[in-house]
Amino acid sequence: MTAHRTRSADRTDAIMRATIEVAQEIGYAKLSIEAVAARAGVGKHTIYRRWPSKGMLFHDSLLSTLEPAADLPETDDVKADLRQRLHATVDLMAGEPWGALFQALAGEIQHDPVVAASLNERFFGPLEARSVARIERAKATGQIAPDFDSSLAQAMLAGPVYYRFLITQEPVTYEFVDGLVEALFAGMGPRP
Amino acid sequence: MTAHRTRSADRTDAIMRATIEVAQEIGYAKLSIEAVAARAGVGKHTIYRRWPSKGMLFHDSLLSTLEPAADLPETDDVKADLRQRLHATVDLMAGEPWGALFQALAGEIQHDPVVAASLNERFFGPLEARSVARIERAKATGQIAPDFDSSLAQAMLAGPVYYRFLITQEPVTYEFVDGLVEALFAGMGPRP
């Protein structure tokens, strides 16, 4: 029983690795279940038994490699902590091959609500929750104005980063996100 | 010559209208050049002579319906003007059928750099330039801190809106963007 489960888990890993390899080589748009099956040395049915679509297969494969970023250390300096979180996002977006694959996944969720819901549940939701919790803690220590909506603050940090990544497609850099953190703290109203 | 050009322009319009109609009916993912050709009553070659890909055909067709938003009136109140611009974006995202089609186009530009470049040149670039110009004018009249980067300010307004639209896929509302404008003016640093 244990041996059987291990073989099954090994096969799942092999399929997910094959998915990432093939996607890196030919791009997500051309990725096919057939090509993944051939690379992993399994039948197509084996893949379809576990994943209902190419989108979900790709999503699971990519997330299986992305999840470690969970526990960034925290300091007493909220700006430093927020910068560090955003730097991790920059590393993901600018890194090879993850940047291009992550962008393809962001494209896929515009067409597939099932993948969109799962990506938010497994990836964006937990990231947001941690940022919101850090912002709440900074309100308690007086580093952030207590009347500032924490969820909106999170969207005002993540939003411009994803706007660059997905819309203008300009490079997302540490300098950009550092400037963003400073700007959000300062606000654009006239100085008193 | 004039009559010939008019017929050609009519045919271009008919193809772009057919593209939008078919995309509304079956979604962008399933849209095919064949289906558009059949709906418009032209041959596939006629379409391929003008558009190199399904993505560019869809992009041109959608932009041909979106461009009017160019000249929003301006007041002396920069917050009101920025809110009005964002409301126009909300109307686009929430409106039927444009919201779903616009989202599909945002998905397409994750795979097609030619469409991405053209969409930025024709749509996002001019919108950004107008917002930046409005922000610059507000700096001159003392309504915005002169040391706040205008381009970053624009990204901090547009970014959270597109983050909602494309990533979390929560509804984008007037309330959300009104709160965003207030928050960007206030900043999240402790109040002096």
- pLDDT given at position A81: 96
Which CATH number belongs to the domain containing residue A42 in this structure? 1.10.10.60
The rounded distance, in Å, linking the Cα atoms of B45 and B48 is 5
Does residue A101 share a domain with residue A134?
A: yes
Does residue B99 share a domain with residue B7?
A: no
Could you tell me what percent of chain A has a pLDDT over 70? 95
3-state helix, strand, coil in chain A (%, to 5): 75, 0, 25
Q: Tell me whether residues B183 and A156 touch, CB distance under 8 A.
A: yes
Does residue A78 share a domain with residue A11?
A: no
Does residue B80 share a domain with residue B31?
A: no
Does residue A126 share a domain with residue A45?
A: no
The rounded distance, in Å, linking the Cα atoms of A58 and A111 is 14
Query: Residue B73: which pLDDT band, with cuts at 50, 70 and 90?
Result: confident
Q: Which residues touch A172 (CB under 8 Å, ≥6 apart)?
A: A89, A90, A93, A94, A161, A164, A165
| B98 inside domain | yes
Which CATH number belongs to the domain containing residue A182 in this structure? 1.10.357.10
Q: How far is CA A165 from CA A1, A37, A152, B138, B180, in A?
A: 46, 31, 20, 28, 20
| A43 inside domain | yes
pLDDT at residue A6 above 90? no
Give the one of B145, B167, B184 whose C-beta lies nearest to A124's C-beta: B167
pLDDT per residue as tens digits for the range A170-189: 999 999 999 999 999 999 99
Q: Are A65 and A159 in contact (CB under 8 A)?
A: no
Does residue A170 share a domain with residue A88?
A: yes
Q: Tell me whether residues A104 and B111 touch, CB distance under 8 A.
A: yes
* Alpha helices (H) along chain B: 2-26, 33-40, 44-50, 54-66, 78-94, 98-108, 113-119, 125-140, 150-162, 174-186
The rounded distance, in Å, linking the Cα atoms of A82 and A135 is 9
Query: Residue B1: which pLDDT band, with cuts at 50, 70 and 90?
Result: very low
| A191 inside domain | no
The rounded distance, in Å, linking the Cα atoms of B191 and B186 is 9
**Containing domain of residue B17, as a range?**
2-50
| B191 inside domain | no
The rounded distance, in Å, linking the Cα atoms of B69 and B90 is 12
Q: Read off the amino acid at residue B152.
A: L
Task: Output the CA torsion sign for A112, A115, A120, A121.
Answer: positive
Q: Are B28 and B104 in contact (CB under 8 A)?
A: yes
Query: Residue A4: which pLDDT band, with cuts at 50, 70 and 90?
Result: low
Does residue A180 share a domain with residue A91?
A: yes
pLDDT at residue A1 above 50? no
The residue among A110, A121, A173 with the most chain B CBs within 10 A of its CB, best to mutate, is A110
Query: Residue B69: which pLDDT band, with cuts at 50, 70 and 90?
Result: low
pLDDT at residue B67 above 80? no
Does residue B159 share a domain with residue B85?
A: yes
Name the average pLDDT for chain B.
93
In eight-state DSSP terms, residue B170 is: P
The rounded distance, in Å, linking the Cα atoms of B127 and B133 is 10
Does residue B114 share a domain with residue B161?
A: yes
Does residue A100 share a domain with residue A45?
A: no
Average pLDDT of the segment spanning B48-57: 96
Average pLDDT of the segment spanning B148-171: 98
First to last CA, chain B: 70
Name the average pLDDT for chain A.
93
Q: Read off the amino acid at residue B46.
A: T
- Which position has the token pair 């970023």? A69
| B56 inside domain | no
Q: Tell me whether residues A111 and B111 touch, CB distance under 8 A.
A: no
At A174, list the tokens: 């540490």
Query: Residue A104: which pLDDT band, with cuts at 50, 70 and 90?
Result: very high
The residue among B81, B123, B124, B163 with the most chain A CBs within 10 A of its CB, best to mutate, is B163
Give the one of B106, B144, B155 whose C-beta lies nearest to A166's C-beta: B106
Q: Are B21 and B39 in contact (CB under 8 A)?
A: yes
Does residue B98 share a domain with residue B181?
A: yes
Domain total in chain B: 2
| B121 inside domain | yes
Average pLDDT of the segment spanning B99-115: 96
Does residue A134 share a domain with residue A43?
A: no
pLDDT at residue B5 above 70? no
| A60 inside domain | no
Rg of chain A on CA atoms, in Å: 20
- pLDDT given at position B65: 85
| A59 inside domain | no
ipTM for the whole predicted complex goes beyond 0.90:
yes
Q: Which residues touch A91 (CB under 8 Å, ≥6 apart)?
A: none
